Amino acid sequence: MGIVYGQHSTYVLSVYTTGSSWSSIANVANAVYEFMNASSTSSVGVPDE
């Protein structure tokens, strides 16, 4: 569990797993960071209206 201070947001990330590798956890953390800190003009993870 950790507090992440990003450019556009601050959030808590907690990853619970059984048997996953550290690289898998890092990939999840990176994907969440990219999503949470995407610029307002980016469409990353935002569904079309």
Q: pTM value?
A: 0.65
Asked if residue 9 is part of any domain, the answer here is yes
Q: Output the pLDDT for position 42.
A: 47
pLDDT digits (tens, 9 = 90+) for 36-48: 988 754 445 555 5
Q: Are 16 and 23 in contact (CB under 8 A)?
A: no
Distance CA 27, CA 6 (A): 16
Asked if residue 22 is part of any domain, the answer here is yes
Tokens describing residue 48: 């079309």
**How many distinct structural domains can be found in the chain?**
1
Asked if residue 41 is part of any domain, the answer here is no
Asked if residue 28 is part of any domain, the answer here is yes
Asked if residue 26 is part of any domain, the answer here is yes
**What residues in the chain have per-residue pLDDT under 70?**
40-49
Q: Output the pLDDT for position 40.
A: 56
DSSP assignment of 24-43 equals: HHHHHHHHHHHHHT--TT--
| Closest of 12, 1, 6, 15 to residue 34, by C-alpha | 6
**Which residue range(s) make up the domain with 23?**
2-36
Asked if residue 7 is part of any domain, the answer here is yes
E strand segments, 1-49: 2-5, 10-13
